[in-house]
Amino acid sequence: MNFSKITGTGSYIPTIKKRNSDFLDTHFLNPDGSDFSNGNEDIIQKFKMITGIDERRYAAPEFLTSDLAFFAAEKAIEDAHIDREELDYIVVAHNFGNLKTGANQSDLLPSLATRVKHLLKIDNPNCVAYDILFGCPGWVEGVIQAQAFIKAGIAKKCLVIGAETLSRVVDKFDRDSMIYSDGAGACIIELCESQDSGILGHASQTFAKDEAYHLFFGNSNNKKEDENVRYIKMNGRKIYEFALTNVPNAMKTALDQSGVSIDEVKKVFIHQANEKMDEAIIKRFYRLYQKQVPEKVMPMSIHTLGNSSVATVPTLLDLVLKGNIEHQEVRKGDVIILASVGAGMNVNAVVYRY
């Protein structure tokens, strides 16, 4: 029987810091175009209380999403000590393709995965490169797909990347623009012959009947802006309510499938969307097993890195594995959960033993 495990990780953290104080002079507007009754200091303070975000990272203007993906991929390949020519699949999760700073059109031709393969200078034509659009859970879904390829016997080594430059699709008049950031994370998944480590269980779902447009592309809050230019928009309250029910359920499905007790779970790497929401999801998850949330079970990077969509989980995982998150570590044999929620609305979870 074929099993799979993560043998290397890498991430790229952009160099440009955008602090909350940098938004003090921003002209925020309500969705209907009207001014807020309170000032920016109050808006930013409440934003910090809810999201936990102090600052976020933006990519330098000369770098595209595919460049960030390439930087993270190089590190993952080096960490795994593999020959890149032996890769069977390159899967790149993103949402908006390549976006030049100041441009209003995304570039998806060729795919970002093809561009990453080109930048990696891989000759092997049997290395298949493709993109996945699955909202914020895209990287986790890529990991699940890589496992399926390996389990089916059609792959031995896969590179899965999550990369995004959300700073280039935000409406500067929308206070939600403070949430989003840029970054990239990657991992190598390889065939292994034993189950002493690797993926133990997973779950994925798409809710589209009533939830499809909780996240969407919409006009600027400033009605004087070009109506043909769209920006990332969301219904925050509905997303919050959706996530609180469906993410814990997906995590439970994956954990029950794995046959592992919740008491064995050492870390939960959850999509860095909103600190309060993530804390509530974890509490709901443990409540399903009538348990209290253990201390330090949920590493977080949102305070300094913001929400980089598909990049949050792989970036956070890499930072913890490399010892770059204070008081957080993963040891050999530890059981961890990777979980995410996002546009679709999609949810997924993976139970993994290191």
- Average of per-residue pLDDT values in the chain: 94
pTM attached to this predicted model: 0.94
pLDDT in tens, 211-239: 999 999 999 999 999 888 899 999 989 99
- Nearest-Å Rg of the Cα atoms of the chain is 20
Q: Give the per-residue pLDDT at 330.
A: 93
- Amino acid letter, 17: K
Residue ranges matching CATH 3.40.47.10 in the chain: 3-195, 199-353
Kindly give the pairing relationship between strand 182-192 and strand 215-218: unpaired
Q: Give the per-residue pLDDT at 193.
A: 76
Q: Quote the tokens at residue 306.
A: 């913001």
Q: Would the pLDDT of 2 be above 80?
A: no
- Mean pLDDT across 191-195: 78
Q: Give the per-residue pLDDT at 298.
A: 95
**Integer CA distances (angstroms), 340 to 87, 139, 140, 296, in order:** 26, 9, 7, 19
Q: Which of 43-52, 83-92, 120-129, 187-196 has the lowest mean pLDDT?
A: 187-196
Q: How many CA atoms lie within 13 A of 42 on its CB side?
A: 4
Q: Which of 143, 141, 128 is nearest to 88 (CA)?
A: 128
Q: Give the per-residue pLDDT at 102.
A: 78
Q: Residues for the chain: how many in total?
A: 354
DSSP state of 182: E
d(CA 191, CA 29): 51
127: pLDDT confidence band, cut at 50, 70 and 90? Answer: very high
Q: How many CB atoms lie within 10 A of CB 15?
A: 10
| CATH class as words, domain 3-195 | alpha beta
- Mean pLDDT across 252-272: 95
Q: Give the per-residue pLDDT at 189.
A: 96
Please tell me the chain's helix, strand, coil percentages from 3-state DSSP, rounded to the nearest 5. Answer: 35, 25, 40
Question: Going along the chain, which residue ranges are E strands?
Answer: 3-12, 16-19, 55-58, 89-93, 128-132, 157-165, 182-192, 198-206, 215-218, 231-234, 265-270, 335-342, 346-353
Q: Give the per-residue pLDDT at 72.
A: 98
Using CB atoms within 10 A of its CB, is residue 294 exposed (0-12), middle (13-18) or buried (19+)? middle
Long-range contacts made by residues 149-156, C-beta under 8 angstroms, separation at least 24?
149/88, 149/89, 150/2, 150/3, 150/4, 150/189, 150/190, 150/191, 151/2, 151/3, 151/4, 152/2, 153/2, 154/88, 155/88, 155/89, 155/191, 156/86, 156/88, 156/190, 156/191
- Mean pLDDT across 114-136: 97
d(CA 245, CA 250): 9
Q: Give the per-residue pLDDT at 117.
A: 98
Buried b (16+ CB within 10 A) or exposed e, 47-57: beeebbbebbb
316: pLDDT confidence band, cut at 50, 70 and 90? Answer: very high
Helix (H, G, I), strand (E, B) or coil at 247: helix
pLDDT in tens, 140-170: 999 999 999 999 999 999 999 999 999 999 9
Q: Give the per-residue pLDDT at 290.
A: 93
CATH superfamily entry for domain 199-353: Thiolase/Chalcone synthase (3.40.47.10)
Q: Would the pLDDT of 337 be above 80?
A: yes
- Mean pLDDT across 267-277: 94
Kindly give the pairing relationship between strand 265-270 and strand 198-206: unpaired
- Amino acid letter, 39: G
pLDDT in tens, 66-120: 999 999 999 999 999 999 999 999 999 999 999 998 777 888 899 999 999 999 9
Higher pLDDT, 51 or 1: 51
Sheet containing strand 182-192, strands side by side: 3-12, 182-192, 157-165, 89-93, 128-132
